[in-house]
Amino acid sequence: MKHVGHFIAGELLPADDGSQILNPASGKPTAIAAIATPAEVDRAVAAARAAFPSWSAQGLQNRATVMLELRGALQKARDELVDIVVAELGKTLADAGAEVDRAIEVLGQLASVGSWYGGAFSPGVSRGVDAMEVRFPIGVVAAISPFNFPVLIPVVQSAMALACGNTVVLKPSERDPSATLRLAEILSSAGLPKGVLNVVLGGKAIVDRLVDHPDVVGVSFVGSTPVAKAIRIAGVSRNKRVQAFGGGKNHMVVLPDADLDLAADAAVSAAYGAAGQRCMAVSVVVAVGTIGDALVRKIRDRLAKLRTGDPAEPATEVGPLITADSRDRIASYLASAASQGACVVADGRDVPTKGEGWFLGPSLVDHVRPGMALHSDELFGPVLSVVRATSFEEAIAIIAGHPLGNGAAIFTNDGGLARRFVDEVEAGQIGINVPIPFPVFFHNFAGWKDRAFTETKLFGPGAIAFHTRTKTVSARWPDSNSTKVDLAFPTAK
Ligand code: NAD
């Protein structure tokens, strides 16, 4: 059995015991992952702290060049990482490949991080006085990531921090840590100095230690909403910078004039990809007007053709869920749907699968209404709810009433209503005939309401504010003959 240890100061530490990592497609153990002791967490933070002065002094453009070298290394290791993601998380080959490809994109786009840096210089704000804002990295950033993107999210979190001159301690999900760990090894051997990027493994206790550590200046968290909120509160009470991004419940509004085949294809792709385990998955379709029955039929017909099974088989489109508990929790919503007044159109509990894995087939529930648990909770699985609305305005109100303002999409051919949707809908990422509006990395990504406990962004230009702090410099080069004592408060005169 493979043993997975921590990665501290450029070294992979041996791991004797720890927790079992299980393959979700078979239920069988694939690895034993170490759980960091408090002393190991402290060692990782100390390594990052020690590496900070020289890494931060390297200069923005040098670090941007390193990002390109890391990109090349990640490209070479693509297939190896894909295999790890398939084995530990159960993503399909195509989906795991897309995840690693987007991580490669991040590193390419961060090569132009300098163009986002901004800053202000105001010459001559007073007689002979210039004023400027100067950015500096913040120090050691702890990056805590969820299970569902074990390559992409750690790359986004750490690359943003590193490009800005910070050093990082990553804490991946305890359910599938191997990809993140291998990633750190690959990036470090491609040009990151020792200690710049470290990985510690484990669960809540490790996160608590990191958030509490006096040398951790910034905490960047991605995961579920309750944990995001708790970490934001804990970090802020210790006067740390915290950006904490939570879960999602993404609505896709289909207007009566939409192309229903296009909308059905989009809804199925966005709801069941990654078995619904994406924070940007479409989990609710809001069918406006009289199209509901036709749209539900078209979605149901497509579900019958989806192949659920072993994610390592190239033809598989829907893989397993991450744990048996997740599968059972999500299945319980299907069991109680009828008693809530909803109608199960496709029941994934009936899908036959080989092996002992944690499978739930693509499921469709119609006549869901706001207030039902199916609508209010983030299920994080392959269940699509259909809510009926009589008007565009009602659809907007349904989205506004949900606490998770992550993504929202509209399918229509009416430009005026699409424009109103952008103006009125309460969500951070908006798609117009695009079901998963996950942007390119030079645009901002965050979310509204209980989706984001921060004003800064996970990536894009708005992430610079989290990863740097500014000094405002006022500078004067006076003529020494004109100096005099003046105790009045300085004015611009
Ligand atoms: P999770 O909140 O259970 O875990 C996330 C991380 O926090 C893990 O590293 C875990 O070890 C740690 N953790 C768990 N409980 C903790 C606690 N009580 N105190 C401190 N740390 C704790 O999330 P998950 O199940 O790994 O991932 C799925 C969730 O992440 C979903 O809600 C999904 O929507 C969300 N997500 C959000 C984004 C985004 O960009 N906002 C992206 C991907 C996933």
Residue-wise pLDDT tens digits, 173-201: 999 999 999 999 999 999 899 999 999 99
d(CA 68, CA 76): 13
What the block records as the tokens of 250 is: 């993404």
User: Is residue 64 one of the residues assigned to a domain?
Assistant: yes
pLDDT reading at 289 higher than 70: yes
User: Is residue 98 one of the residues assigned to a domain?
Assistant: yes
- Catalytically active residues, by annotation: 279
Q: How confident is the model at residue 354 (pLDDT cuts 50, 70, 90)?
A: low
User: Is residue 491 one of the residues assigned to a domain?
Assistant: no
pLDDT reading at 249 higher than 80: yes
Q: How confident is the model at residue 326 (pLDDT cuts 50, 70, 90)?
A: very high
Together in a domain, 407 and 419: yes
Rounded to 5°, angle at Cα 67 from 185 and 466: 100
Q: Which atom of ligand 1 is nearest to the CA of 248?
A: 34
Strand, helix or coil at 136?
strand
pLDDT reading at 95 higher than 70: yes
What the block records as the tokens of 350 is: 């009936």
Q: Which atom of ligand 1 is nearest to the CA of 202?
A: 11
Residue nearest to atom 6 of ligand 1 (CA): 146
Together in a domain, 214 and 257: no
Sheet of 121-126, strands arranged across: 121-126, 129-137, 468-476
Residue 247 Cβ < 6 Å to ligand 1: yes
Residue 207 Cβ < 6 Å to ligand 1: yes
pLDDT reading at 482 higher than 80: no
Alpha carbon distances (Å) from 396 to 284, 296, 421, 424: 13, 20, 8, 7
**What is the separation of C-alpha 162 from the centre of its chain, rounded to a whole number of angstroms?**
17
Say how many domains are in the chain: 2
> CATH no. for residue 364?
3.40.309.10
User: Is residue 437 one of the residues assigned to a domain?
Assistant: no
**Looking at residue 355, what is its pLDDT?**
65
What's the domain range around 224?
Answer: 2-246+451-473
How far does residue 221's CA lie from ligand 1's centre (Å)?
8
**What is the separation of C-alpha 197 from the centre of its chain, rounded to a whole number of angstroms?**
19
Together in a domain, 237 and 259: no
How far does residue 296's CA lie from ligand 1's centre (Å)?
32
d(CA 439, CA 100): 16
Residue nearest to atom 24 of ligand 1 (CA): 146
d(CA 156, CA 109): 11
Together in a domain, 329 and 418: yes
- The sign one gets for the Cα dihedral 310, 311, 312, 315 is positive
Residue 235 Cβ < 6 Å to ligand 1: no
DSSP code, position 350: G
How far does residue 53's CA lie from ligand 1's centre (Å)?
31
- 214-220 mean pLDDT: 98
pLDDT reading at 352 higher than 90: no
**Looking at residue 168, what is its pLDDT?**
98
* Beta strands 167-171 and 197-199, pairing class: parallel
How far does residue 223's CA lie from ligand 1's centre (Å)?
2
d(CA 405, CA 9): 39
User: Is residue 444 one of the residues assigned to a domain?
Assistant: no
Q: How confident is the model at residue 152 (pLDDT cuts 50, 70, 90)?
A: very high
Residue 279 Cβ < 6 Å to ligand 1: yes
Summary mean pLDDT of the chain: 96
pLDDT in tens, 410-444: 999 999 999 999 999 999 999 999 999 999 999 99
Q: Which of 36-50, 194-208, 340-354 has the least mean pLDDT? A: 340-354
Residue 147 Cβ < 6 Å to ligand 1: yes
- 262-288 mean pLDDT: 98
